[in-house]
Amino acid sequence: MIQRIQSLYLICSTIITAVLPFFFSIWTEETETVVYFYASSLYSSFFGIISILTLISLFLFKKRQTQFVLNRLTIIFNFILLGFFVFRTLNLSGEMQISEKGIGMFLPTISIVLLVLANRAIKKDEDLVKSVDRLR
């Protein structure tokens, strides 16, 4: 259901993890080589898994608890991907010239924020359904 706010959050998160990494670089190395996510199979697989899980969660709008758990799993994968980015960034610190960090490194962070907002809206829906069931 597109009219639910959590569906909009999930659509935005899917776009951020599936489309935007093609356009924004992760970092630029000291040799002026621009590195995108598809340069490493690790990063591409994590972006793919995150995108697929978010898309599956989007279509599970009738099963709110499953959607909630799937979003939490996606948040964990985003944190793991962010950890790989931080690890790679800290390993690059010994260079003679500083490499530039691209906006692609922050895409998992934006995705995490959107998934947390979606989980909050799913929780509100679940509480509303439980309160209506109590009144019957």
pLDDT of 22-67, one tens digit each? Answer: 888 887 776 777 778 888 888 899 999 999 999 999 999 888 899 9
62: tokens are 């009738």
Query: How many whole angstroms from its chain centre is CA 136?
Result: 39
What does the pLDDT look like over 83-106, one tens digit per residue? 988 888 777 655 555 566 778 888
**Confidence (pTM):** 0.86
Measure the CA–CA gap between 81 and 88, rounded to whole angstroms.
11
| Residue 82: C-alpha distances to residues 6, 18, 58, 78 (Å) | 23, 16, 22, 6
Beta sheet of 34-35, edge-to-edge order: 34-35, 27-28, 100-101
